Structure 1
Amino acid sequence: MDRIDTMRVFTRVVERSSFIRAAEDLGLPPSTVTDAIKALEARLKVRLLHRTTRQVRATLDGEAYYRRCLAILDDIEDAESAFSAPHPRGSLRVDVLGAQARRIIVPGLPHFFADYPDITLHLSETDRFIDLISEGVDCALRVGAPKDSTLIARRIALLPEVTVASPTYLHRFGTPQRWDRLDGHRMVGFHSSATGGVLPLEFMVAGTLRTVMLPSTLTVNGADTYKEAASQGLGLIQVPRYAVQQELAAGTLVDCLPDTPPSASPVHVLYPRNRQLTLRVRVFIDWVARQYARHV
């Protein structure tokens, strides 16, 4: 293994805090990764990593060497991409929201792989804010305003939202006429992992955001269950319009209070601030932005 490959192995071990996970990411035997780090430390005559039974972490010297490795590897990738035809290849790990993955991302993947046949894509599904580096993720798609200042956020879409209910619900509770006259109505509660609580209903009124918390007999934390609960007449919900387009067309869900819709949901791609984007990450971000544009 040459010095550049050893740097790649070392940086992945630091980021994943594990020899085994780093080996899995790089497609190498764990023994190869272990031997590479031992040889690196012997050559540099310095201890780069603290090893325990639970995790691996960089020493002070290891942290300094890690930062130098990142800069060198970024320069190498820049140099190679500048003098060769763009041809992204390799493994790409992306964390996404499950509902959006199924409706927006996955349907377009046959075309993505036709354009980029040498990329291997690994999609994981969560709705929490994850540590991209320690979990070995290249980028993540999230709805809402990003809070982590260590990440760069590129907004790729604004998803229009709607307030909907089923005909069964409207027959029982009546059709809402105004956002501020919802006495007697109820909502399906959506528990947000980002806030740790149930989200109120939102309404844009003359450019000002208003919120209303209604009683709920059911609280959920999954997008598909949320929509299904509304279909069963259990309350008002607010979702991106693309997610209920078919139900609105079929009449199984009804658009309520269209003059005061919820605020649109921003979708961001997040990636580490201290890492230069590889070509495969750049082409994926550009492609996924086009995918979302088709659903706005």
Structure 2
Amino acid sequence: MKIDQLLALRVFVRIAEARSFSRAADSLDMPRPTVTKLMQELEKHLGVKLLQRTTRRVTVTAEGAAYYERALHLLGEVEEMDALVARSHAQLRGRLRIDIGSSLANAILIPALPDFHARYPDIQIHLGVGDRPVDLIGEGVDCVIRSGVLADTSLVAKRIAEFDYVTCASPAYLTVHGVPAHPEQLAQGHGLITYFSSLTGKPNPLLFRRRRETFEIGHSAMLAVNESTARLTALLAGLGVSQTYEFLARPHIERGALVPLLREWTRPRHPVHLLYPSNRHVPEKLKVFADWAAGIFSQFDDRFFGSPRPSVVGHLQPSA
């Protein structure tokens, strides 16, 4: 019996990485029975068991582990050959699954996508928007763009920006509660808005540094959110004092909807990384996206002192 061995190899690699037939089928956009049949035919062709299946999970056998490494190398070579031909015809095509935090998607990436599609009209972007942790291998995600400390050091990480913070509140809030002159005053009668991690659930207090002085305020905040756009909306609603990305707050400060506070106190810049799996060949379409995204985010990168940085788009400006 002849089988489509190249397709069967792709299916086997996805199952081995996802540890699931159904997740592999979803990521490959194939019917589950087709995935199962291809694996059965591949194992019959080889005369060995590559996968061990139980009711709860799929594991790779010793023979399967060795076969996986060779298959991964071979598929990488095939993708490289395809990329060389695609480059020679100035065409890149296919689907890219990108996952990104909400505020970064709405303020930076999505407004710039018309430029990407104009350059690469045959690349389709499937954009997952949210701050939840993502299993790149298991969910078939090509890359993620995330801010903050890296949780998974097994991924290839490319730092594409660093953002300054600003401490601020609405004029209405400050009229009622007063303008703090020192971070310690925020612990006395002020409502604080903090951010908590979607991964750990741990809240991050407001952090203030000035020369050798450091203060952490807000371990018991009035409101904690796990998404940066929600934090900005809470500030504009007059719910309290918080620290948010300066580029997000800037248009609201300029129109008087937010007031910057404690300017002589700083918080360390927030890094932003583009991450992708390290155990596979990087397709050309991902390379061009990564380079393009780095260029877009560089316009908001506070490491480049004095460089022009565009304001965020209008639909990110809730009314005060």
Asked whether the two chains share a fold, i.e. TM above 0.5, the reply is yes
Alignment-derived partner of residue 67 in structure 2: 65
Alignment-derived partner of residue 110 in structure 2: 106
Which contiguous aligned blocks of 4+ residues in structure 1 show a shift greater than 6 angstroms?
Answer: none
Closer, same or farther: CA 209–40 of 1 in aligned 2, 3 Å: farther
| 1:7 is aligned to 2:5 | no
Alignment-derived partner of residue 115 in structure 1: 119
Aligned counterparts, 1:106-145, within 5 A: 106-145=110-149
8 Å Cα contact 2:194/2:218 also seen in 1: no
Q: Secondary structure at the match of 1:91?
A: strand
Amino acid at match of 1:116: Y
Question: Identical aligned pairs, as a percentage?
Answer: 39
8 Å Cα contact 1:89/1:118 also seen in 2: yes
Aligned counterparts, 1:222-261, within 5 A: 222-261=227-266
* CA-CA distance at 1:235 after TM superposition: 1.2
> What's the Cα RMSD here?
2.2
Alignment-derived partner of residue 304 in structure 2: none
* CA-CA distance at 1:187 after TM superposition: 0.9
Amino acid at match of 1:25: S
Alignment-derived partner of residue 33 in structure 2: 31
8 Å Cα contact 1:15/1:136 also seen in 2: no
Aligned counterparts, 1:179-194, within 5 A: 179-184=183-188, 185-194=190-199
Alignment-derived partner of residue 272 in structure 2: 267
Amino acid at match of 2:165: E
Alignment-derived partner of residue 95 in structure 1: 99
Normalising by structure 1, we get a TM-score of: 0.91
Q: Secondary structure at the match of 1:134?
A: helix
* CA-CA distance at 1:251 after TM superposition: 0.7
Say how many residue pairs are matched: 296
| 1:216 is aligned to 2:221 | yes
What is the CA deviation profile of residues 181-209 of structure 1, one whole-angstrom value per residue up to 9, with x for unaligned ones? 43423311322224422211012322776
What is the CA deviation profile of residues 232-267 of structure 1, one whole-angstrom value per residue up to 9, with x for unaligned ones? 222111111122222111111111122222221100
Alignment-derived partner of residue 168 in structure 1: 172
For residues 219 and 100 of structure 2, the distance between their equivalents in structure 1, rounded to whole angstroms, comes to 29
Gaps of 5+ in 2: 302-320
8 Å Cα contact 2:187/2:217 also seen in 1: no
Closer, same or farther: CA 91–53 of 1 in aligned 2, 3 Å: farther
* CA-CA distance at 1:21 after TM superposition: 3.1
What is the CA deviation profile of residues 10-43 of structure 1, one whole-angstrom value per residue up to 9, with x for unaligned ones? 1112223333332333233333322221111011
8 Å Cα contact 1:189/1:218 also seen in 2: yes
Alignment-derived partner of residue 22 in structure 2: 20
Give the alignment partner of residue 293 of structure 2, picking from 288, 291, 295: 288
Closer, same or farther: CA 208–20 of 1 in aligned 2, 3 Å: same
8 Å Cα contact 1:216/1:235 also seen in 2: no
For residues 43 and 106 of structure 2, the distance between their equivalents in structure 1, rounded to whole angstroms, comes to 45
For residues 112 and 289 of structure 1, the distance between their equivalents in structure 2, rounded to whole angstroms, comes to 12
Amino acid at match of 1:248: I
Closer, same or farther: CA 177–107 of 1 in aligned 2, 3 Å: same
8 Å Cα contact 1:157/1:292 also seen in 2: yes
Q: Secondary structure at the match of 2:138?
A: coil
* CA-CA distance at 1:79 after TM superposition: 3.6
Closer, same or farther: CA 272–214 of 1 in aligned 2, 3 Å: closer
Closer, same or farther: CA 218–27 of 1 in aligned 2, 3 Å: closer
Gaps of 5+ in 1: none
For residues 162 and 99 of structure 1, the distance between their equivalents in structure 2, rounded to whole angstroms, comes to 16
Q: Secondary structure at the match of 2:112?
A: helix
Q: Which moved more, 1:172-181 or 1:242-251?
A: 172-181
Normalising by structure 2, we get a TM-score of: 0.84
Amino acid at match of 1:18: S
Give the alignment partner of residue 81 of structure 1, picking from 75, 83, 95: 83
* CA-CA distance at 1:106 after TM superposition: 0.8
What is the CA deviation profile of residues 201-235 of structure 1, one whole-angstrom value per residue up to 9, with x for unaligned ones? 01232277642236532233333332222222221
Q: Secondary structure at the match of 1:129?
A: coil
Q: Which moved more, 1:72-81 or 1:142-151?
A: 72-81
Q: Which moved more, 1:42-51 or 1:83-92?
A: 83-92
